[in-house]
Copies of this chain bind each other. A is one copy, B any other.
Amino acid sequence: MNRKSTIKAAVLGATGFAGEKLVEILCRHPAIELTGAYGIEEPKPLKDYYPRFNKVVGLSLEPIVVSEVSAKADVIFLALPHTVSFNYVPQFLAAGKIVIDLSADYRLKDVAVYEKYYGVTHKDKKNIAGAVYGLPELYRDKIKKAKLLANPGCYPTVSALSVAPLIKEQLAGDIIIDAKSGITGAGRKASVDLNYTSINGNLYAYKLFKHQHLPEIIQTISEIAGTEMEVVFTPHVVPLEQGILATVYADLKKKLTKEEIMTIYDKFYKNEPFVRVLPGLPKLKDVFNTNFCDIGFEVEGKKIIIVAVIDNLVKGAAGQAVQNMNIMLGIPETAGLL
């Protein structure tokens, strides 16, 4: 990638799944130069962490030193664990950087809810209000002006996109989201529960009624609806690596045909480069390693079932972060993502 690049980007947390995917996407991005990859692990070439980057990515993992990161980059991606980002964000903002945080630290407007679900005291409360929630299909105008972007979680992204057109028009309620996720959603760590023998041929639900993404889903859906919404959300682990399929059950407030609802969805998403509304039902594999969200649905009486799929590491994390960066920088929204 020898193109002349003028915008410099850095990735903090380059050894996690989202960080790795960010490095991959940014290195191919036509308008970006990735100047640094940072993390708390042993400093060594990224190719020693990811042999697939050998002869592709020349960077080495470096320790996180805010001043050094700031000196080398205009855009800072934080792909750090939850409850870590808020230690760095104020300093990067103070240095005038564009900050895109992939953690949950700035997503929830109600800090009490954040502190309850993540079990820590938030150390940068004052910047929460100014953070823009980075769901481009809903908040593109705000994103354009953002300095601190809170990149949405994977479950909230697919959940919000699946129902936004209906919710916006107050056409549906009683929402139940049955979500199935590949195991990269659990992050990269040593645990017998993540072993091949624990996941292959297996399938299970977890954290019923209490997943930490639930308040984020409720916040977003409620904001779209303009009113407080209740949501039931059940995450599952399925035996695959990347991707989420959400099956969403809702009650229509009035009888609508499939065609009428299709018109509503088509209109809502008609200019969206990364949402594909389908006449049939989506399959997860069709969005593998892409930034797309595919959506299909069926209606019977006043019941609707919507099925939506994303790649949790792309549209659910790194891809959406780059899409947000593109919007913030005023470059083509699909740059580096098709």
Binding site for B on A (CB under 8 A): 1, 17, 28, 50-52, 54-56, 176, 178, 180, 183-184, 188-192, 194-206, 208-209, 232, 234, 236, 238-243, 245, 247, 249, 273, 276, 278, 281-290, 292, 294, 298, 300, 303, 305, 307, 309, 338
Contact B239 A239 (CB under 8 A): yes
Contact B232 A303 (CB under 8 A): yes
CB neighbours (8 Å) of A28 from chain B are 338
Contact A195 B195 (CB under 8 A): yes
Contact B200 A180 (CB under 8 A): no
Contact A239 B192 (CB under 8 A): no
A286-B52 CB under 8 A given contacts A188-B197, A206-B281, A232-B303: yes
> For residue A196, which residue of chain B has the nearest CB?
B199
18 A-B pairs with C-beta separation under 8 A: A54-B292, A54-B294, A180-B180, A183-B195, A188-B192, A190-B191, A191-B195, A195-B195, A196-B241, A200-B200, A203-B238, A204-B284, A208-B307, A209-B300, A232-B303, A234-B305, A238-B238, A249-B249
Q: How far is the CB of A249 from chain B (nearest CB, A)?
A: 5
Question: CA A203 – CA B184 in complex, angstroms?
Answer: 15
Q: How far is the CB of A261 from chain B (nearest CB, A)?
A: 13
Question: CA A232 – CA B252 in complex, angstroms?
Answer: 14
Contact A276 B54 (CB under 8 A): yes
CB neighbours (8 Å) of A294 from chain B are 51, 54
Question: CA A214 – CA B27 in complex, angstroms?
Answer: 39
A203-B240 CB under 8 A given contacts A209-B300, A305-B208: yes
Identify which of A17, A50, A278, A292 gathers the most chain B CB atoms within 10 Å of its CB. A292
Partner of A205, one of B191, B247, B286, B338: B247
Identify which of A178, A243, A282 gathers the most chain B CB atoms within 10 Å of its CB. A178
How many copies, total? 4
A240-B51 CB under 8 A given contacts A247-B178, A249-B249, A338-B56: no
Contact A192 B192 (CB under 8 A): no
Contact A195 B197 (CB under 8 A): no
CB neighbours (8 Å) of A273 from chain B are 55
Partner of A286, one of B51, B197, B209: B51
> For residue A292, which residue of chain B has the nearest CB?
B55
Contact B196 A283 (CB under 8 A): no
CB neighbours (8 Å) of A56 from chain B are 290, 338
Identify which of A184, A197, A305 gathers the most chain B CB atoms within 10 Å of its CB. A197
Contact A288 B238 (CB under 8 A): no
Question: CA A13 – CA B190 in complex, angstroms?
Answer: 22
Contact A201 B236 (CB under 8 A): no
A307-B195 CB under 8 A given contacts A236-B245, A276-B54: no
Partner of A284, one of B202, B234, B240, B249: B202
Contact A197 B184 (CB under 8 A): yes
CB neighbours (8 Å) of A198 from chain B are 196
Inter-chain pairs besides A201-B240, A201-B242, A203-B238, 4 sampled, C-beta below 8 Å: A194-B195, A203-B309, A206-B281, A236-B245
Q: How far is the CB of A50 from chain B (nearest CB, A)?
A: 8
Q: How far is the CB of A248 from chain B (nearest CB, A)?
A: 10
> For residue A192, which residue of chain B has the nearest CB?
B190
